[in-house]
Amino acid sequence: MENPQKSLESARQRFSQLVSALTNFNNVLRHGPPDQLPPWSTLQSQFNVLSASLASVSTVLTQHFPPPQETPSALVSYPLPSFPAQTQSILLSMLCNKKPNAPVQDWFVQGLNDPAVTALSTADKAEQNEFWKAVQDAVAEQQDSRSWYDELYTLEEREGEGGVDAVSTGLALDELGDPVRREEREREKEKEKVGGGLRLDSMFRFMETGVHPRDQPPLPTGQPPGGGMMKR
Amino acid sequence: MAKPQHVTQFQNSHQELSLYSHIPASRQPPILRIISGITGMLPENSLHHHLVFKPKRPKQPGGGGAELYYVQLVSKVEEMEDEKGKENRGYELRKQKWKMTLEDIPEVTRKPVTSRSVLSSNIAEGDAIAFVESLGYTFQSAYFTRSSRLMHGNVIIKLSQILLPQPTPPSSTPAPGAVFGNPFPTSSLTTLDPAKSWILKASVRVQSNQDVESLNTGVNGLKGFKELMKGMCDLEIAERLALDTRVR
């Protein structure tokens, strides 16, 4: 980004174009008798305008604010490390909240209980499911066509047993079709450790005192008993 | 710092600065190769026999009196194979070159490394075990360490595994000295850790704990090596109480 002012200015122009297109579309929708949409040719032309302005916004953004390509400065998309989390904690928690807020949740409930939805027959539902399945396939195709940062593995993951193929990215599915969770793998690893291996501390204690790990009393935590007396 | 008793019996003393890492069995070969590459030398492999001794005299009640410490006798086991590949030669425990060592509990310090004082003395002749027993110690246990040693500047890198001698069957009458363990045949030794893990120890020896300049050089050497090994293994300070050599 050589000239931030210029970049911001052109982004602002494209955004205002998008806003005016949206306002225009809104006006068209509200125009005319209620409960009736404008003719499809009008809608079509409005959609074209909207789609063109969205595309130009997207172009400007990628051109002037390119996403990090090789060395991402952070592994999370947001909040970025530069976000003033100290002073804006309320805003941050609002942004990070995955649960929809109360009014939105009300809309969900309303929509699900809508007579138009509840009155659907099983045949209708099956048809709907089929439709969504097709959508899912289309999305999956799009996902496959993009490179999801193939190189984004840690050194540990690369050097670990089985290489990057053994890494659970959260995108993989298990036999039941549920995503394989990273924590599950970690837990399994932990189990392996408990299954046989000794802790470094136990081995140190054996080396120093010759007491076999199975006979070692637990190490005192915090202050040793009678700390004052044994002060060294 | 209260110096342990028998200080006068030790010829050598130094301050040891160290960092440790736990290496799973599967990672040991690549780690060794990497360190060998870094240091530009082949590892020096050895097998050591350790005998741990404990003071006979119980600690005085009430916490008074001097602290009592475990001491160790350590000797290098020569692994020579004769022409037939037979290694089960007569291992003469009492003819080994023993070194008596006393390691203090690591000091309480704000240094980013474990720091402890180590006293040692080579026992040139005579029966080392009888000598240590005559000093008021009693045999506690024996173990072996198989280790690969490398040098990187001032840093001594030791990758080792703890091995246990074959337990003597309780029914048969034990041969004299059997409790101390016999390293041969080496295939009879079993690892202490069922997972067969290794310990990586990076250490620097400094002559005196008063020599602040050398201590700093040592600490920086270790820090540099830790940085070098980042991503391969994490070298950390050891839990101080795990290295406690005082008798409780």
Task: Dump pLDDT digits (tens) for B144-172.
Answer: 999 999 999 999 999 999 999 887 666 55
* Closest residue to A219, CB basis, from B22, B142, B241: B241
Query: Lowest-pLDDT range, B66-75, B136-145, B169-178?
Result: B169-178
Q: What pLDDT score does B173 carry?
A: 61
Q: CB–CB of A210 and B70 under 8 A?
A: yes
Best mutation target, A200, A214, A221, to test chain B (most B CBs within 10 A): A200
Report, as an integer, the average pLDDT of B115-132.
89
Cα–Cα dist B127/B96, whole Å? 9
Cα–Cα dist B120/A81, whole Å? 52
Best mutation target, A159, A207, A221, A229, to test chain B (most B CBs within 10 A): A207
Q: CB–CB of B241 and A203 under 8 A?
A: no
**Percent helix, percent strand, percent coil in chain A, to nearest 5:** 60, 0, 40
Interface residues on A facing B, Cβ-Cβ cutoff 8 A: 155-156, 159, 161, 193, 196-213, 219-220, 224, 226, 229-230, 232
Q: CB–CB of A210 and B239 under 8 A?
A: no
Query: Lowest-pLDDT range, A12-16, A224-228, B7-11, B85-89?
Result: A224-228
Each residue's pLDDT tens digit, B221-230: 999 999 999 8
CA distance A7 to chain B (A): 39
> Residue B199 pLDDT > 70, yes or no?
yes
Q: What pLDDT score does A173 carry?
A: 55
| Cα dihedral B211→B119→B55→B77 (10° resolution) | 150
Q: What pLDDT score does A36 carry?
A: 80
Is B241 an 8 Å CB contact of chain A? yes
Is B156 an 8 Å CB contact of chain A? no
Query: Lowest-pLDDT range, A85-89, B17-21, B147-151, B213-217?
Result: A85-89
Q: What pLDDT score does B72 carry?
A: 94
CA distance A102 to chain B (A): 46
Find chain A residues with C-beta within 8 A of B102's C-beta.
none
Report, as an integer, the average pLDDT of B35-43.
91
Residue of A nearest to B142 (CA): A210
Q: CB–CB of B242 and A210 under 8 A?
A: no
> Residue B74 pLDDT > 50, yes or no?
yes
CA distance A51 to chain B (A): 47
Q: CB–CB of A229 and B2 under 8 A?
A: no
Spell out where A103-225 has E strands. none
Residue of A nearest to B232 (CA): A156
Q: What pLDDT score does A172 carry?
A: 52
Residue A179: strand, helix, or coil: strand
Q: What pLDDT score does B241 carry?
A: 87
Q: What pLDDT score does A39 carry?
A: 86
Residue of A nearest to B3 (CA): A232
Q: What pLDDT score does B189 carry?
A: 87
CA distance B243 to chain A (A): 6
* Closest residue to A220, CB basis, from B63, B108, B241: B241
| Three-state SS annotation for chain B | CCCCCCHHHCCEEEEEEEEEEEECHHHHHHHHHHHHHHHCCCCEEEEEEEEEEEECCCCCHHHCCCCCECEEEEEEECCCCCCCCCCCCCCCHHHCCEEEEEECCCCCCCCCCEEEEEEEEEECCCCHHHHHHHCCEEEEEEEEEEEEEEEECCEEEEEEEEEECCCCCCCCCCCCCHHHCCCCCHHHCEECCCCCCEEEEEEEEECCCCCHHHHHHHHHHHHHHHHHCCCCCCCECCCHHHHCCECC
> Residue B4 pLDDT > 50, yes or no?
no
| Burial track B182-208 (b if 16+ CB lie within 10 A, e otherwise) | bbbeeeebebbbeebbbbbbbbbebee
pLDDT tens for each residue of chain A, 232 residues long? 567 788 888 889 999 999 999 999 988 888 877 778 888 888 899 999 999 999 999 888 888 877 665 565 666 666 677 777 778 888 888 777 777 778 888 888 888 888 777 777 788 888 888 999 999 998 888 877 765 555 566 667 767 666 666 666 655 555 555 555 544 544 444 444 444 578 888 899 999 988 888 888 887 754 444 333 333 3
Q: What pLDDT score does B3 carry?
A: 45
Report, as an integer, the average pLDDT of B78-103.
72
Find chain A residues with C-beta within 8 A of B140's C-beta.
209-211
Enter the ipTM: 0.86
Query: Lowest-pLDDT range, A67-81, B46-60, B206-220?
Result: A67-81
